[in-house]
């Protein structure tokens, strides 16, 4: 891990790089391989990226899955959970795009997000999924799992990197720099 300090007048912010660019690429490739290893037949599987921050990681994972299975149709959608959240009510939020052009009824759904923290985003996603049918099974794939910070009993089935943090810290996937940083 790489540590940096940023001085901004009197504010000192300590940064720790959790995944650098090569590690991030390897982690995404590993997650894609784990998913196809556990789901050799993709006909009943749908992948759903969670808006807004899970879309970039889900795009990359699904792209790798398509490369691993070029002759199979990969069902992929984007889900906005803005109005299903229970923890953000003090301000008006603008909805993101939901693009799920297929039913998930009886299907095996893999939710993909960037960082698992309290579990509230995933709880909201599970509620939002019900608008598209009743899935047979739902699995969770995350790039980073912030263990020991959960408010709900939600755990990932696929995890790129598990880290221990305190609630005052922030984990951010910086796609422009292609790294994951702990603030």
Burial 115-146 (b: 16+ CB within 10 A, else e): bbbebbbbbbbbebbeebbebeebbbbbbbbb
pLDDT at 93: 66
pLDDT at 96: 82
49-87 pLDDT, tens digit each: 999 899 999 999 999 999 999 999 999 999 999 888 776
Helix (H, G, I), strand (E, B) or coil at 162: strand
Tens digit of pLDDT at every position of the chain (183 positions) = 445 555 444 455 678 999 999 999 999 999 999 999 999 899 999 999 999 899 999 999 999 999 999 999 999 999 999 888 776 556 666 778 899 999 999 999 999 999 999 999 999 999 999 999 999 999 999 999 999 889 999 999 999 999 999 989 999 999 999 999 999
Q: How many residues does the chain have?
A: 183
pLDDT at 89: 58
Q: What is the separation, in whole angstroms, between the first and last Cα of the chain?
A: 13
pLDDT at 7: 47
Query: How many CB atoms sit inside 10 A of residue 27's CB?
Result: 21
- Comparing C-alpha atoms, which of 113, 140, 121, 128 is closest to residue 54? 113
pLDDT at 11: 57
pLDDT at 1: 46
| Pure H helices in the chain | 21-38, 54-68, 120-129
Q: How far is CA 153 from CA 11, 54, 164, 173, in A?
A: 35, 20, 17, 24
pLDDT at 164: 94
Tokens of 51: 């808006």
Pick the CATH number of 2-182 from 3.40.50.2020, 2.40.50.100, 3.40.50.720, 3.30.1120.10: 3.40.50.2020
pLDDT at 149: 86
Query: How many CB atoms sit inside 10 A of residue 182's CB?
Result: 18
Tokens of 95: 């909805």
pLDDT at 85: 78
Tokens of 37: 């290893």
pLDDT at 97: 87
What residue ranges do the domains of the chain occupy? Answer: 2-182
């Amino acid at each position: 891990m790489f540590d940096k300090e940023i001085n901004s007048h009197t504010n000192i912010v300590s940064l720790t790089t959790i995944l650098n660019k090569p590690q991030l690429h390897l982690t995404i490739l590993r997650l894609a391989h784990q998913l196809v290893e556990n789901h050799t037949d993709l006909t009943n599987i749908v992948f759903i990226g969670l808006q807004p921050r899970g879309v970039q990681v889900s795009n990359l994972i699904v792209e790798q899955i398509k490369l691993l299975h070029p002759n199979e149709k990969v069902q992929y959608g984007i889900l906005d959970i803005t109005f299903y959240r229970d923890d953000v009510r003090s301000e008006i939020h603008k909805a993101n795009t939901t693009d799920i052009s297929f039913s998930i009824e009886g299907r095996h759904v893999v939710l993909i997000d960037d960082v698992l923290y309290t579990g509230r985003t995933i709880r909201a996603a599970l509620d939002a999924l019900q608008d598209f049918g009743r899935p047979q099974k739902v699995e969770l794939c995350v790039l980073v799992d912030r263990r020991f910070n959960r408010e709900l009993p939600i755990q990932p089935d696929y995890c790129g990197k598990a880290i221990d943090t305190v609630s005052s810290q922030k984990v951010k996937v910086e796609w422009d720099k292609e790294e994951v940083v702990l603030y």
